[in-house]
Amino acid sequence: MDQLLEQLTNGLAVGSIYALIALGYTMVYGVLKLINFAHGDLFTYGAYLGLTLLTSLLAHDRMGLGLRLLLLAVMVMGLVAVIGVVVERAAYRPLRDSPRLSAVVSALGASIFLQNALMLLYGARYQVYPDVLPQNAVRLGDLSIPVVRIAVVAVSVVMMTVLYLFVQKTRIGTAIRAAAIDQGAARLMGIDVNKVVVLVFVIGPALGGAAGLLVGLYYGQIGFTMGWTYGMKAFTAAILGGIGNIPGAMVGGLLLGVIEALGAAYLSVAWKDALAFAVLILILIVRPSGLLGERVAEKV
């Protein structure tokens, strides 16, 4: 029983990171029907920029730690958003009217470029964040949960909720949803689709960058290839929840994390990924459009 509870908290912590990254995949797919393979690398950029900025912020001890971390998060999200917009402008927009395959290949190219650029800038070694977060844990009976882990889940949930409300309740959010349903019709209604696309490439990468920062702060070790593993998992989470669907990405991420943890606990550690992907296949057989995805007729 104790192991079950502990594994659930383990799974939720990993899952909330997957969910944050999955949002970037799902939003871009929703609007452009493009799988942004460079998204995992934008997440890595968030982690590296976070480390660079954190080092200089730590030198300013007149601000409280909380304020500094908030400032850090805002800067990292802003910078990664800028990179995201540049990637869209350079690698995707010129191919907007080309066959979809060209854009996917371009996305893979952008991913390889970003990853190797990062290696050349920072070197191939793993980088390590300084320990800035409190190390204490909350005790619940026999269960001890590190405070940081609770914070990671809380921060992710808050960001996801804000995004959900933004997309559902604001005018701009409505424009994003309209562009996702039908770009041509949205344009006829006076929506500037290009602006919507840019906005999607601001929000998605910003959340991905925030996830990178969280991973850096929480786990401490970052490497220039980490975007690949997280990207794959987050992409899976997005499909699991129904790609193109924002709450779906959140549910998919959390679910994937929990399945992995439980697989490691009760099946075999080595088989946890196999189990997670088996669940994905089963869900796709039963619901081809994902858990929360809507069945949309393919346009001919």
Among 71, 151, 198, 265, binds another protein (CB under 8 A): 265
Instruction: Write down the least CB distance from residue 17 to another protein, Å.
Output: 8
Kindly report the backbone phi and psi dihedral angles of residue 203, in degrees, each rounded to the nearest multiple of 5, phi listed first.
Answer: -70, -50
Distance of CA 3 to the CA centre of its chain: 28
Contacts of 104 (CB under 8 A, 6+ apart): 34, 35, 37
Residue 41 in the binding site for another protein (CB under 8 A): no
| Among 198, 220, 279, 287, contact with another protein (rule: CB under 8 A) | 220
Among 219, 247, 277, 279, binds another protein (CB under 8 A): 219
**Considering beta carbons, is residue 102 or 268 the nearer one to another protein?**
268
Among 1, 59, 101, 270, indicate the residue that binds another protein (CB under 8 A).
270
CB closer to another protein out of 157 and 193:
157
* Contact status, residue 291 vs residue 242, Cβ threshold 8 Å: yes
Among 14, 186, 197, 211, binds another protein (CB under 8 A): 14
C-alpha span between 103 and 196 (Å, rounded): 18
| 8 A C-beta contact, residue 20 and residue 208 | yes
The interface mask with another protein, positions 108-147, x = CB under 8 A, is --------x--x---xxxx-x--x---x-x------x-x-
Please report, as ranges, the residues that interact with another protein according to CB under 8 A: 3, 6-7, 10-11, 13-14, 116, 119, 123-126, 128, 131, 135, 137, 144, 146, 215, 219-221, 223, 225-226, 228-230, 260-261, 264-265, 268-270, 272-273
